[in-house]
Amino acid sequence: MGRPQKQRIIPKEQAVFWMDKDGTWHNEHGKLEHPKIIRYFNQSIQKDGQGYFLCQILDDVEERVYFPYEDTAVFVVDLVRKGTGIELALNTLDAIALDPESLYINGDALFMETDDHLIKFSQKALAQMAAFLTDTPQGLALNYGQIQTIIHEK
């Protein structure tokens, strides 16, 4: 199947849903609860120069709905130990290797910055990370294997 011939763009000011700072989807009626809808939304997240949007193909039309979000639209939802490293499972259903040098703390949140996304750790992922964190005189540090990396604050 080729690329759709038409494109429908819905700006974030007209979106009827949004994502909060914890990665939770909402609409005018409140928090979205249905797991299949949440999964569909998360796996549909894409990004371009205008920001994050949900993308779907309806007949021959590609629909992009840009949506409001706080902090970021990409979250670590689970940690998976892979040999000598840690893989981060994202809400988008993608996975990425943990890069300790790209971690930073802002407020009470842990983030990892990549070339493509600013990624925030969910509360569940942050709790999983606690086993690898140590308070040092230089600040909070990630300990994994034989390496200790100081996590800087922004």
Same domain, 52 and 26: yes
Among 15, 45, 66, the domain-final residue is 66
Same domain, yes or no: 103 and 149: yes
Same domain, 56 and 85: no
In tens digits, the chain (154 residues) has pLDDT values of 556 579 999 999 999 999 999 999 999 999 999 999 999 999 999 999 999 999 999 888 999 999 999 999 999 999 998 777 899 999 999 999 999 999 999 999 999 999 999 999 999 999 999 999 999 999 999 998 788 999 999 9
Give the domain range for residue 40. 6-66
SS (HEC) of 85-132: EEEEEECCCCEEECCHHHEEEECCEEEEECCCCEEEECHHHHHHHHHH
Backbone CA torsion sign across 54, 55, 57, 58: positive
Select from 38, 66, 94 the last residue of a domain: 66
Domain count, the chain: 2
